[in-house]
């Protein structure tokens, strides 16, 4: 049993908070700014979720993931998605050993802790779908055999929002398997100046290992133990109502029903509750409050809301829809949440 599991009460909150800060500081030795991206990736690790990173080239998406893998002593694999990629390039394949004349399985890069799917939308749907089984069930089928993946397994995929030529839309079934979609923006003037200064110095950065994959698994169990999510949980009730309000013709959401073609699936309710619970811990709180749920609603829901042509013609963004929903859905469990 690890040190994490043995901590209790306020000590547990402090322990998790300290670990979070240490991981973040290690990543910030290399990455300047991009706090939302770093925070979201760490929350996803603690919540057992996958992350879709969307942003222009050169904003540090790839190096952030690589740096994080060193800080948590995790196995790291990077796959550059291209149109000529085939599913076995990711999952692995069977081959015949000429000496024994027996079938041998060559495992692919998916057998790792952190899998970076770089420019995932450059590969066709057949290749993208190779990740479906691994992302949902944490297993891979190669030939007639099924292999379990690592207990800590997270897919971090990147895509460029401005490129159209040579890209493919991600299947909705795959998009829904990502816990978060993080929009990465340009750095501020001060941040960009510091980025340039660091690169000009060309110094090697020494990174310390502050967590292990085993500790992260233990921290997941600890968080789930301290804030359980049962069917009568106020957090779960409120999260579910928010998610249901994203669906067209849902009760009481007439204010946006003409703007939404498809809403979020039940998987969003699960992810929103889990992510809010972890975010509460990482901010030093021993209870989940509505403000924690509101903060996590944007990255959890924005890629699950499909807008109508009317909404797109008006320049409406999924984040606008989420903001409206959060202002309209009543917080019936406010007192209950505070009493947990």
- Tallying the residues shown for the chain, one arrives at 340
Residues 293-308 have a mean pLDDT of 93
pLDDT at 304 over 90: yes
The pLDDT assigned to 337 comes to 44
Classify the C-alpha dihedral 247-251-252-254 as positive or negative.
positive
The pLDDT assigned to 296 comes to 95
> 227-339: which CATH topology?
Helicase, Ruva Protein; domain 3 (1.10.8)
pLDDT at 6 over 50: no
The pLDDT assigned to 4 comes to 43
The pLDDT assigned to 9 comes to 55
CB atoms within 10 A of CB 154: 25
The pLDDT assigned to 258 comes to 81
Residues 204-233 have a mean pLDDT of 82
Alpha-helix runs per DSSP H in 48-176 = 61-71, 88-91, 125-128, 132-137, 172-175
CB atoms within 10 A of CB 124: 14
Domain residue limits, the chain:
31-198, 227-339
pLDDT at 338 over 60: no
Summarize pLDDT for 116-164 with one digit per residue, the tens.
999 888 888 888 888 888 898 899 988 788 899 999 999 999 988 766 6
- Identify the CATH number of the domain defined by range 31-198: 3.40.50.300
The pLDDT assigned to 340 comes to 46
Most confident listed range (4-13, 45-54, 139-148): 45-54
Summarize pLDDT for 262-292 with one digit per residue, the tens.
889 999 999 999 999 999 888 877 788 889 9
The shares of helix, strand and coil residues in the chain, as percent rounded to the nearest 5, are 45, 15, 40
CB atoms within 10 A of CB 144: 7
Return the percentage of the chain with pLDDT > 90, whole number.
26
Do the domains spanning 31-198 and 227-339 agree at the CATH topology level? no
The pLDDT assigned to 10 comes to 63
H or E element that contains 104: strand 102-107
Helix (H, G, I), strand (E, B) or coil at 228: coil
pLDDT at 187 over 90: no
Task: Residue 88: name the closest of 106, 66, 74 by CA.
Answer: 106
Residues 206-231 have a mean pLDDT of 84
The pLDDT assigned to 164 comes to 63
Query: Can you give the pTM of this predicted structure?
Result: 0.85
Instruction: Report residue 186's pLDDT band, with 50, 70 and 90 as the boundaries.
Output: confident
pLDDT at 185 over 90: no
The mean pLDDT value of the chain amounts to 84
SS (H, E, C) 160-189: CCCCCCCCCCCCHHHHCCCCEEEEECCCCH
pLDDT at 329 over 70: yes
């Amino acid at each position: 049993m690890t040190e994490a599991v043995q901590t209790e009460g306020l000590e547990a909150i402090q322990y998790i908070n300290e670990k979070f800060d240490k991981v973040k500081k290690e990543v910030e030795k290399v990455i300047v700014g991009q706090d939302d991206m770093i925070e979201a990736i760490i929350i996803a690790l603690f919540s057992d979720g996958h992350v879709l990173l969307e942003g222009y080239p050169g904003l540090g998406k790839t190096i952030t993931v690589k740096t994080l893998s060193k800080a948590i002593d995790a196995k790291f694999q990077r796959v550059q998605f291209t149109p000529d990629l085939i599913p076995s390039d990711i999952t692995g394949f069977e081959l015949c050993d000429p000496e024994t004349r027996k079938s041998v399985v060559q495992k692919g890069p998916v057998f790792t802790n952190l899998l970076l799917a770089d420019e995932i939308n450059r590969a066709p749907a057949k290749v993208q779908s190779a990740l479906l089984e691994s992302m949902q069930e944490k297993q891979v089928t190669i030939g007639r055999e099924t292999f379990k993946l690592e207990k800590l397994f997270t897919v971090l995929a990147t895509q460029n929002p401005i490129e159209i030529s040579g890209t493919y839309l991600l299947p909705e079934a795959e998009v829904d398997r990502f816990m978060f979609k993080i929009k990465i923006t340009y750095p501020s003037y001060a941040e960009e100046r510091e980025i340039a200064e660091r690169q000009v110095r060309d110094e090697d950065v020494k990174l310390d290992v502050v967590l292990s994959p085993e500790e992260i698994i233990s921290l997941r169990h600890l968080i789930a133990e301290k804030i359980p999510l049962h069917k009568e949980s106020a957090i779960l009730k409120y999260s579910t109502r928010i998610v249901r309000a994203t669906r067209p013709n849902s009760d009481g959401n007439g204010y946006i029903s003409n703007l939404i073609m498809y809403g979020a699936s039940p998987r969003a309710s699960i992810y929103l509750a889990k992510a809010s619970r972890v975010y509460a811990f990482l901010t030093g709180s021993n209870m989940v409050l509505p403000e924690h749920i509101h903060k996590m609603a944007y990255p959890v829901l924005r890629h699950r809301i499909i807008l109508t042509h009317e909404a797109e013609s008006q320049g409406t963004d999924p984040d606008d829809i989420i903001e409206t929903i959060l202002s309209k859905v009543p917080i019936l469990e406010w007192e209950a949440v505070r009493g947990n």
